[in-house]
Amino acid sequence: MTPVDTAAVQAQLIERSGRIRSALEHVRHDDQLVHLLKDVDAALERIGSGTYGICDVCHEPIEEEYLRADPLVTVCLEHLSPGEQKTIERDLELAARVQGKLLPMCNTRVYSWEFCYHYEPFGPVGGDYCDLIRPSESGGDMYFFLGDVSGKGVAASLLVSYLHATVRSLLHSEPTLAGLMERVNRLLCETTLSSNFITLAAGRASADGTVEFVNAGHCHPLVVRGGAIRSIETTGLPLGISFGARYRSVTTKLAPGDSIFIYTDGLSEARNSEKEEYSEARISALVARESGVTPEALIGIARRDLSAFSGGSGKFDDLSIMAMRRLSEGT
Ligand SMILES: [Zn+2]
């Protein structure tokens, strides 16, 4: 995420100060407005003196995301009053609940595909995007998406919601997966949120086992086909970087027993106390070794292996894993 642009904040605050002053001329006196004007002018003074964005209590920089959400804050999150902290906690709880509702049904079956995922945000809300779109009543394909918005926390989660809505609304007006990615990419580049970018693995699976992938700069999805493992390399830039970006798709056909494993870098880049990465190689080896189990079991094995590897070093990023397996017809 780009740092807070103090000059832009200053311009906004000057405009805001002017608007409050003219409002005060009309309403004569309003305690709330007077108070707000004082806060706006104090923030402008801090910008002038070079102390803007520094906590009044501990003199450490205030969290950028928090400052961006409210440019008038004078203390860091840790030094808010208990009442203020409660309000923020309540907002985050609500945001987490909204985000939870956007997730697809887990441990489900579509055609002959078994599907499961694990979604674990680093904080109350996450910057990973996970979705499964089932075919319509009249048939058609199933779509699955696993992505990662740069940055973490509330700002990243807002972009996840935006992406969720954009993909779902454009899905049926774009005949190809690559075309869909190109359109979503252009929209992302046009939004003001474009200081972030998104890596995304997108897939379309048919009832007959055909799977098409587009990989926009995401960790390589793994396909286990007839016991052999293949990784789906990048087929285009991460979304939100270049307006004219083009995407290619890769198609493969899976037989009963074959599977797909997709993850975010919260898995591959997790580190242990020796600062070693969990690594793509370790993930590939695990998926190749355990490919006979159900998607739910495979995700469970991967999570246990990760926690054995990282020991007590704790998580550092959002973690998402998606797994699919093709059942034999009629099971
Ligand atoms: Zn502080």
Q: 142-195, pLDDT tens digit by residue?
A: 999 999 998 777 878 888 999 999 999 999 899 999 999 999 999 988 875 556
| Residue 34 domain-assigned (yes or no) | yes
The answer on 305 and 170 residing in a single domain is yes
* Residue 233 · residue 218 · CB < 8 Å: no
Q: Which two tokens stand for residue 176?
A: 């190809």
What distance in angstroms lies between residue 61's CA and the mean position of ligand 1's atoms? 8
* Residue 122 · residue 316 · CB < 8 Å: yes
The answer on 225 and 106 residing in a single domain is yes
Q: What digits encode the pLDDT tens for the residues 115-137?
A: 999 999 988 888 999 999 999 88
What distance in angstroms lies between residue 151's CA and the mean position of ligand 1's atoms? 22
The answer on 101 and 68 residing in a single domain is no
Q: Does the structure show a pLDDT above 80 at 325?
A: yes
% the chain with pLDDT above 70: 96
Report the C-alpha gap between 309 and 286 in whole angstroms.
13
Residue by residue, DSSP assigns 89-131 as HHHHHHHHHHHHHHSPPSSEEETTEEEEEEEE-SSSS-SEEEE
The answer on 71 and 23 residing in a single domain is yes
Output 92 or 312, whichever has higher pLDDT. 92
What distance in angstroms lies between residue 54's CA and the mean position of ligand 1's atoms? 8
Q: How many domains does the chain have?
A: 2
The answer on 158 and 42 residing in a single domain is no
DSSP assigned state of 202: E
How remote is the C-alpha of 42 from its chain's centroid? 35
pLDDT of residue 91: 84
CATH code of residue 241: 3.60.40.10
Please state the rounded mean pLDDT for residues 311-326: 87
CATH code of residue 17: 1.20.120.910
Phi-psi region of 153 (alpha: psi -120 to 50; beta: other; left: phi over 0): left
The answer on 119 and 174 residing in a single domain is yes
What distance in angstroms lies between residue 62's CA and the mean position of ligand 1's atoms? 7
What distance in angstroms lies between residue 80's CA and the mean position of ligand 1's atoms? 8
Closest CA to 217 of 191, 254, 185: 185
The answer on 112 and 49 residing in a single domain is no
Q: Which two tokens stand for residue 66?
A: 């928090």
How remote is the C-alpha of 329 from its chain's centroid? 34
Report the C-alpha gap between 57 and 42 in whole angstroms.
16
Confidence class of residue 24 from pLDDT cuts 50, 70 and 90? Answer: confident
The answer on 142 and 70 residing in a single domain is no
Query: Which protein residues have a CB closer than 5 Å to ligand 1 (ion)?
Result: 55, 57-58, 76, 79
What distance in angstroms lies between residue 66's CA and the mean position of ligand 1's atoms? 12
- Angle at Cα 141 formed by Cα 137 and Cα 147, nearest 5°? 120
| Residue 91 domain-assigned (yes or no) | no
What distance in angstroms lies between residue 55's CA and the mean position of ligand 1's atoms? 5
What distance in angstroms lies between residue 85's CA and the mean position of ligand 1's atoms? 13
What distance in angstroms lies between residue 53's CA and the mean position of ligand 1's atoms? 10
DSSP assigned state of 309: H
pLDDT of residue 1: 46
The answer on 187 and 267 residing in a single domain is yes
| Residue 291 domain-assigned (yes or no) | yes
Q: Does the structure show a pLDDT above 80 at 263?
A: yes
For 2, residues 6+ apart whose C-beta sits below 8 A from its C-beta are 195
Confidence class of residue 60 from pLDDT cuts 50, 70 and 90? Answer: very high
pLDDT of residue 329: 65
The answer on 142 and 241 residing in a single domain is yes
The parent domain of residue 48 ranges over 6-80
pTM: 0.80
What distance in angstroms lies between residue 81's CA and the mean position of ligand 1's atoms? 11
Q: Does the structure show a pLDDT above 90 at 212?
A: yes
The answer on 262 and 136 residing in a single domain is yes
Please state the rounded mean pLDDT for residues 92-104: 89
Across 30-34, 180-184, 254-258, least confident range: 30-34
Domain ends where: 45, 80, 115? 80
Report the C-alpha gap between 155 and 173 in whole angstroms.
28
